Structure 1
Amino acid sequence: MMKIDFSGLDPSLPVKGNAEDLEYEILAAPSFKLPVTVDFDGFQKAAVQMVKPAKGTTTLAFIFKHGVMVAADSRASMGGYILPYELWNCLYKILLNFAASQSVKKIIEINPYMLGTMAGGAADCQFWHRNLGIKVSALSLILSRYDLSLRRHTDCVVDVSRTRLLSGELECRLHELANKRRISVAGASKLLANILYSYRGMGLSVGTMIAGWDENGPGLYYVDSEGGRLKGTRFSVGSGSPYAYGVLDSGYRFDLSVEEAAELARRSIYHATFRDGASGGVASVYHVGPSGWKKLSGDDVGEMHYSYYPVEPTTVEQEMADVPIA
């Protein structure tokens, strides 16, 4: 127990109450013992990992001949704990990382030509996608309202008070403003990667894909909470991604039609939800093309199971009859 020395107190100073009573009250307080461990610092780190909730999801995106196909499940979970949608809404603002739901929107519509997916901590993903969407929308607003043909110096300042953005945030995008072009998929992903990198090591949990269509055609990037950024033609992120990759890689071709690509995305999400307990709910599928994104389907994975593998009642009865009785 820690010993407190009161001998150095100046008795001439005004005090409230008796000093002996104060000493007794302090020493009578319950003591908190440290864990019996050799490496206390290591124990602290391990304890944080022990209480950290397990997260899981399945998201995927791939580029094909007619654009980008994006799909995701809708289950948010803390380990094996899942809540009804109504209760999730009540707890959302209080314990977002400690609740779960079957109806979470994991595909974020950043702008009419760009989508983002969520994997990791729900609060982190939603906040930074919203943040990115505000910045992208602000750039689009400036392009439509300001003529920057005469602003060719890097020290120029654009009045963007209505968009609540500082002009310094826009200087790195002056070439886009000068050319009056919509922000590219590469630019948006780089912007998000820079933001996340500035918070590196602060406990964020984000694994996201930025997919869209710009002047260069379809684009797909993976960005994580460490600020990493990777360009590719197909990605799957989340605890169910190993199962989704198996189906996606076996059926992927660049020359897929829109219908074939949508079915491949749906089937990949379904198989992931069938094998991964942290994935489930509704399989949402989006297509991003030259005219923007469009939601193609949102099907319950439970109903998808019986559409892929219809089972007749007689078959079930026969299977149950063949099961040996222990």
Structure 2
Amino acid sequence: MDSRGAQKISTGTTIMAVEFDGGVVVGSDSRVSAGESVVNRFFNKLERLHDRIYCALSGSAADAQAIADTVQYQLELHSLNMDKTPLVLAAATLVRNISYKYKEELSAHLMVAGWDPKQGGQVYGTMGGMLTRQPFAIGGSGSTFIYGYVDSAYKPGMSREECRQFTKNAIALAMSRDGSSGGVIYLVTVTEAGVKEEVILGNELPQFYDK
């Protein structure tokens, strides 16, 4: 909430994740708002759940962070007890279960993506208690502006760099249309080799319209 406790701080946002052969690209904008006010321009909405598993946060910032923290803790315990790396599906299932169990108390939508030795790169949506694997997924308030773009621009079998550019273009387009999305773009690329985190600044963003 803000200092008066009147408005809930939410990640009115654009989040996205894309699979490619060997990994995933996850991205988000960085703006956090409370009502019509921007309260944080540079909030990283990509949360690490385990070594090669990330989630993208949307909805109430506090609620989404609470879910991510709980899943992160449970995955760490699971990894220690089983002495092996948790699966991306296990992380997504935990997110789905918590989100559904507390659907009346929490206002958050988390997208889970990552890499594991069993199924490689994976992207899961967890909206409304459902768990669906998708080649790519978008979410947040900005996603409503880019469904046409992503449906036309996505092509099966895209390379790592093509998926990175696809994600960057889609989020930049949403930021140009959605008043609740903005700031910079955070990108995370996850493969067997490791994790690469990037910040795409304003002067590096794709430009879709003449100023």
Secondary structure (helix, strand or coil) at the match of 1:248 reads helix
Aligned to 2:170: 268
Aligned to 1:13: none
Alignment of 1:177-192 (within 5 A): 181-192=84-95
What's the CA shift for 1:249?
Answer: 2.2
Aligned to 1:57: 13
CA contact (8 A) 2:14 2:181 kept: yes
What's the CA shift for 1:309?
Answer: 6.2
Partners of 2:109 and 2:208 in 1: CA distance: 32
- CA gap of 1:81–1:265, structure 2 versus 1, over 3 A, is same
Partners of 1:54 and 1:186 in 2: CA distance: 27
Secondary structure (helix, strand or coil) at the match of 1:60 reads strand
Q: Equivalent of 2:203, from 267, 290, 303?
A: 303
- CA gap of 1:198–1:247, structure 2 versus 1, over 3 A, is same
Aligned to 1:131: 70
Dislocated runs of 4+, deviation >3 Å = 50-55, 307-311
Partners of 2:114 and 2:14 in 1: CA distance: 19
CA contact (8 A) 1:193 1:223 kept: yes
**Which segments of 5 or more consecutive residues in structure 2 lack a partner in the other structure?**
1-5
Q: Radius of gyration: which is bigger?
A: 1
More strand by share: 2
Alignment of 1:306-321 (within 5 A): 308=207
What's the CA shift for 1:54?
Answer: 7.1
CA contact (8 A) 2:52 2:115 kept: yes
More helix by share: 1
Aligned to 1:253: 155
Query: Is 1:286–2:185 an aligned residue pair?
Result: no
Aligned to 1:72: 28
Partners of 2:7 and 2:102 in 1: CA distance: 22
Partners of 1:280 and 1:236 in 2: CA distance: 16
- 1:105 partner letter: N
- 1:256 partner letter: M
Q: Structure 2 length normalisation: TM-score?
A: 0.87
Larger mean CA deviation between 68-77 and 211-220 belongs to 211-220
Partners of 2:27 and 2:7 in 1: CA distance: 30
Partners of 1:310 and 1:191 in 2: CA distance: 41
What's the CA shift for 1:51?
Answer: 6.8
Secondary structure (helix, strand or coil) at the match of 2:40 reads coil
RMSD: 2.3
Question: Which structure exhibits the higher relative contact order, with contacts defined as CA atoms closer than 8 Å and separated by 6 or more residues?
Answer: 2
Q: Equivalent of 1:212, from 114, 127, 152?
A: 114
Q: Equivalent of 1:101, from 40, 53, 59?
A: 40
CA contact (8 A) 1:79 1:278 kept: no
CA contact (8 A) 1:114 1:292 kept: no
- CA gap of 1:59–1:80, structure 2 versus 1, over 3 A, is same
Deviations 1:263-285 (A, max 9, x none): 11111110000000100011011
Partners of 1:127 and 1:53 in 2: CA distance: 14
Deviations 1:160-210 (A, max 9, x none): xxxxxxxxxxxxxxxxxxxxx4221111111222222222322x1111111
Partners of 1:235 and 1:134 in 2: CA distance: 25
- 1:64 partner letter: F
